[in-house]
Structure 1
Amino acid sequence: MPWTTAIVIALIALAAPASAEVFTWIDRQGVAHFSDYPPGELPHQQLSLPRPSTVPMSENLQQERRISGIRDEVRDLLAKPGRAQGRDQRAEEADRARVCDGYRDKLARIQSKLRAGYGNDKGNTLRRQRRITSQKLSRECILR
């Protein structure tokens, strides 16, 4: 019985910080602060935080199974053999493969430049190029 009481008290003590109050204020330098205690004589506000949302594990597992099923269906659809390939269709697929390889090479070059370091403007330009190239690769090569 004493162990049960000790465990209950420990659980209550651990749960107390989860329901702590949150205060916010702005200091003389204009910096916003958040804390679990009021700042004393500085004007402050107490924030009311919504309860955290939780999802039961069973729902997560069901969602994972549903997504896996959709992924398998898409994979099966993509793997189905089409009509017999003629010379023109093979040439078209070879051209598309070259274009897709070009996109992948360009993405690799952009990523290499991003890893090498950059200034703000250059980084924004590289990220925009990466986004556009990635979208083209997805539309023309992966989702097609």
Structure 2
Amino acid sequence: MPRKTLVALLFALVAFPATAEIYRWTDSNGATHFSDTPPVHRQHSRLELTEPVTVPMNENIRQADKVRQSRAAVGRLLTSGSKDRFAAGKQARREASQCEGYRKRLARIQGQLRAGYSNDRGNNLRQKRRELSQLYSQSCILN
């Protein structure tokens, strides 16, 4: 019987998390100290620590791998050299749509510049116009 009691006591001790009291105090030089024993002749405070939250990551990693594989499969289908007969047409339509979007955004910014603006607003609009013009040139004109 004592052996069963000893085993039960051992399991009970293992089941409870280890807790230690932590004390904080500042010395005469202004340095902050932490210890598991309180200082004898110093004013100190006891810190309350919370249990850390643990999240199992294995499911997140599996999900990320599935997403990565799906994106790679879609990317292979949409490349111009793929065997998908619609990939080239999709790519051309996407590029045309992107170029049209650049043209509309440039026209909107140009209209805002013509309508009048404060100095800072005009600088921001001109900066956006430069960036969009570069994107438009690289994506739509040079290709």
Instruction: Give TM-score scaled by structure 2 length.
Output: 0.45
Instruction: Give TM-score scaled by structure 1 length.
Output: 0.44
Q: Mark the structure with the bigger radius of gyration.
A: 2
